[in-house]
Structure 1
Amino acid sequence: MITPGQSMDVLLEANRHPSLYYMAASSYFTIADAEFDNTITTAILQYNGSYHQSPSPLMPHLPARNQTQAATRFTKKLRSLASKDHPARVPLKVDTKLFITLSVNLLNCSSKPCEGPYGKRFSASLNNISFITPSIDVLRAYYYRLDGVFDLDFPSKPPNAFNYTGNNLPQNLLTPDFRTKVTVLKYNARVELILQGTNVFEGDNHPFHIHGYSFYVVGWGFGNFNPRRDPLRFNLIDPPEQTTVGVPRNGWVAIRFRADNPGVWMMHCHIEDHQEWGMKSVFVVKDGANPQAQILPPPHDLPEC
């Protein structure tokens, strides 16, 4: 499964009988009674040379749109091209551990019922904090040391632990806090980030992206992440290196990266509605000692928003 905003390099071995072949893709969708694009996108792969072309190329078999097992089988096969001579650069030791829950929330409407579920409207959050975009961007506020724009205390774990993927979750989990909070990382810190999906309101597959970085996906699973058992199964040999990863519906993903790119970097769900609802936050990566490891000043012709 390729999530929204994700890219892949694919090596195709053209070992079939010369002809025309369909390539096809369809949506993966698991939320009942919600609208989605149910079309199938196609392209045709054509062999070079002289041969008898079939008047109707064969269409590949596609799994059902809610077939999580098929998506899981594909995800399990992803590996990097690491070898003994060119090992993956995944951090084997960790300085900073972060555990972040991803939730879709509901809010009361101010005067009359909204058109959303239960007469409410949607919101979204990370560790129960729905990100408020400030009037001055975080990058300029950080560089010029402007006070009052953001707070430095985004929680490294959920403020309240609960059965993240359970059913019939307490109603108080539906309403997040609204803040502009960031996570500060030391330059060159070795970071492990657990992204935990939740069943608050309803679980979903969340394609998660971090600006300015690629990362290694060292583990994933369904249900609640177990900090004692699950790290024993992490792939630290040849994990795939990605810029976007799909957090399974009611599951989790573990990623690792080295914070060697100083600056201010957003992390967010790549479903645009979820991002607009507040499922995003910011990493502030501090400068290193070397001038080449320090944030650059804004260009003189930077346009105002």
Structure 2
Amino acid sequence: MDTSDGIICRLLYAWSLLLVTTPAALEAQSITRRFAFHVRYQNVTRLCSTKVVPTVNGQVPGPTMYMREGDRVLVKVNNELHDKNITIHWHGLKQVRTGWADGPGYVTQCPMKPGTSYTYNFTVSGQRGTLWWHGHNNWMRYTVYGAIVILPKKGDRYPFPKPYAQIPLVLGEWWKASMDAVLQQLRQTGGGPNISDAYTINGQPGDLYPCSATERIVIPVKSGKTYMLRIAGATMNGEMFLSVAGHKLTVVEVDASYTKPVEMDYVLITPGQSMNVLLKADQPVGTYYLAVRPYIAPNINLDNTTATAVIAYEGSNHAATPAFPTLPAINDSVSANALSRKMRSLASEAFPARVPLQIDRHLFFTLGLAIRPCANCTLGGRLSGVFNNISLELPKTALLQAHYFRKPNVFVTNFPDNPTSAFNYTGRPPNNTMAKSGTRLSFLPFNSSVQLVLQSTAMVAPENHPIHLHGTNFFVVGMGLGNYNASSDPSSFNLLDPPERNTIGVPMGGWVALRLQANNPGVWFMHCHLEFHTSVGLATAFVVEDGPNPEDKLIPPPSDLPPC
């Protein structure tokens, strides 16, 4: 940001404080919660080895944030790293008119340089449940992450029996090597990254890995009580099956949206997703493993090592070997899609499902991996992520600043609504799999209703892609295998009670249909939440224009917005 922009920022920010101080806004902001995040290096020991990693407040995972629906939240983030920039994304928070607080680097802000700070300022609007926060540039989220617990407003009840206790569980990954070494290998080869050495639950791998007997989480429970497991998928590149030996899991909320209860023997949590599940301690007194292991497309040969925690009943022998659950196979695509097919929103009077019925804009995006030329790569080319065969290149300034200040030559809004060429997306790929690169975004008029079909492709390899949209939720109205058929598939859409989410797994060799209302002005990132895929361009963004009224306009940027 140049000097003139900085002056304008401060003036507009002062004006924005007056703009939002209405009786309704004061009521929404009557409770202010303040947090301080110190991003610094710390020695952390896992798998009997110690390395220095970025942490928040010296912890991996970082602190769990507790707040209520309607709270105003101020988080001062201090970058105390000497050699790395940082941003924090509050994953799944809608950021109504506060896109400056969303956090993806070079999308809504430029990163904080070493020795600087930035205060994220937002209000929790119409959401309650479990979300999470994480670093959002240069794979920083491998250790910079934590849970967000949003409690209902005081006096509001859960639409299910109140649990006896609530337990945040954040799934992650751990590399013995430094992340700099992982990224260097990625740049040199042009292929995929080295896989992590362990999966983790609340930062610990459990006792099934070599040299990890003491590195496990123990969850004490009492017979007959019901517990809420607040699960957040912070893994970098692994979609995880989760199960508890001998116990059923009842899903009651996904991505901070209530659902009709669904009972499962296991659940699948993709990177980016979160969910609340109820666990009733109704088994004989003893110890039981809670286990996670990855679901990976069958053409990729990855280690399926299992991370564990232990559910320990009061009065049990903690030294006994816990019972082990049955988990789906690493390549079980049917089980991977089962929960998504069963999910339904609550769609009650108190929590309606406001699904757009009349559509203003129909979008059809293919997605997957393609290849870009790379003379210096050891593989002769570089894998690139693409929507409609376009790989996103982020600029050196933030897209939201360029949009707000009308800076030319930063991006264009001519991203194609449909693939530039049609082919058998889930069958034999075309001969030319070269990706085009650019900073091409989609423009959406304010309050337009959008249907977006995401079609998986097999250009390089068929995969399951967890796609995350910033700035708004969407309804998952349809899902299927094979190529989407615009003539016949809409007849099976669920427009009554589809699940409301911010992250959805596009099935390997299949498609999902999403509907949303573009009523939050700003620039909103959409990307695959497999960190490798995002880093190689499997991303795009939507520009949503301001609405006609003051309450429909993007709030001006704050005075401490990091400069570019």
TM-score by length of 1: 0.91
Alignment of 1:112-123 (within 5 A): 114-116=377-379, 119-123=380-384
One-letter amino acid of the structure 2 residue matched with residue 99 of structure 1 = F
- Distance in 2 (CA, whole Å) between partners of 1:134 and 1:31 is 35
Q: Does the Cα contact within 8 Å between 2:312 and 2:318 map onto a contact in 1?
A: no
Matched, 1:61 2:321: no
Assess, with a 3 A threshold, how the Cα gap between structure 1 residues 44 and 294 changes in structure 2: closer, same or farther. same
Equivalences for 1:1-305 in 2 at 5 Å? 1-34=268-301, 36-48=302-314, 50=315, 55-83=320-348, 86-110=351-375, 114-116=377-379, 119-167=380-428, 169-172=429-432, 174-305=433-564
Displacement of 1:18 in angstroms is 3.8
The residue that corresponds to 2:189 in the other structure is none
Deviation string, structure 1 residues 3-29 (Cα, Å, up to 9, x no partner): 111111223333333433221111001
Q: Is the 8 A contact 2:287 2:322 kept in 1?
A: yes
Find the residue that maps to 1:139 and give its secondary structure: helix
Please tell me the residue identity of whatever aligns with 2:272: G
Cα displacement (A) at 1:46: 3.0
Cα distance change of structure 1 residues 255 and 134 upon mapping to structure 2, 3 Å threshold:
same
CA distance in 2, matches of 1:237, 1:20: 41
CA distance 1:85–1:211, change in 2 (3 Å): closer
Q: Give the direction of change, closer, same or farther, for the CA distance of 1:131–1:53 in structure 2 (3 Å limit).
A: closer
Separation in structure 2 between the aligned mates of residue 207 and residue 232 of structure 1, nearest angstrom? 25
Distance 1:42-1:282 versus aligned 2 partners, 3 A rule = same
**Which ranges in structure 2 are unaligned for 5 or more consecutive residues?**
1-267
Judged with a 3 Å threshold, the aligned counterparts in structure 2 of structure 1 residues 37 and 143 are, in CA distance, closer, same or farther, namely farther
Match of 2:6 in 1: none
Contact 2:468 2:504 in 1 (8 A): yes
Distance 1:128 1:33 in 2: 22
CA contact (8 A) 2:525 2:542 kept: yes
* 1:46 maps to amino acid: A
Cα distance in structure 2, aligned partners of 1:78 and 1:183 = 29
Q: Normalising by the residue count of structure 2, what TM-score does the alignment of the two structures yield?
A: 0.51
Larger RCO, structure (CA 8 Å, separation 6 or more): 1
Change (3 A) 1:58 1:290: same
State the one-letter code of the partner of 2:288.
Y
Task: Check the 8 A contact 1:215/1:241 in 2, yes or no.
Answer: yes
Give SS of 2:491's match: helix
Aligned partner of 1:203: which letter?
Answer: P
Q: CA deviation at 1:95?
A: 1.4
Separation in structure 1 between the aligned mates of residue 467 and residue 481 of structure 2, nearest angstrom: 16
Q: How many residues were matched structurally?
A: 297
State how far apart, in whole Å, the 1-side matches of 2:317 and 2:273 are: 37
Aligned sequence identity (%) = 47
2 CA distance for matches of 1:52 and 1:282?
53
Distance apart, 1:252 and its partner CA: 0.5
Shift of 1:149: 0.8
Question: CA offsets per residue over residues 201-228 of structure 1, 9 Å max, x none?
Answer: 1111111001111111111111100111
**Residues 251-282 of structure 1, C-alpha deviation per residue, up to 9 Å, x if partnerless?**
11111111111101110011111111111111
CA displacement at 1:147 relative to structure 2 = 0.9
- Residue-by-residue CA offset, 1:222-264 (whole Å, 9 max, x unaligned): 1100111111111112211111101111111111111111101
| Partner SS, residue 273 of structure 2 | coil
Asked if the contact 2:521/2:552 (under 8 Å) is kept, the reply is yes
Letter in 1 for 2:324: M
- Sort the Cα spacing of 1:11 and 1:238 in 2 relative to 1 into closer, same or farther, 3 A: farther
**Residues 13, 5 of structure 1: CA spacing in aligned structure 2 closer, same or farther, 3 A cutoff?**
same
Does the CA-based 8 Å contact 1:19-1:54 persist in structure 2? no
Structure 2 distance, partners of 1:58, 1:293, is: 54
- Closer/same/farther in 2, CA of residues 52 and 137 from structure 1, 3 Å limit: closer
- The structure-2 alpha-carbon separation of the partners of 1:295 and 1:26, relative to structure 1 and needing over 3 Å to count, comes to same
Once the two structures are superposed, what CA deviation does each residue of 1:69-125 show, in whole Å capped at 9, x if it has no partner?
111223222222223664312212211111101020112323x6x333xx3221121
Query: CA 1:287–1:125 in structure 2 vs 1: closer, same or farther (change >3 Å)?
Result: same
Residues 202/51 of structure 1: CA separation in 2 closer, same or farther (3 Å cut): closer
Query: 2:82 matched to which residue of 1?
Result: none
- 5+ residue gaps, structure 1, are none
Equivalent-residue separation in structure 2 for 1:80 and 1:23 (angstroms): 26
Say if 1:17 and 1:236 are closer, same or farther in 2 by CA, change over 3 A.
farther
CA contact (8 A) 1:22 1:44 kept: yes
Structure 2 counterpart of 1:4, which letter? P
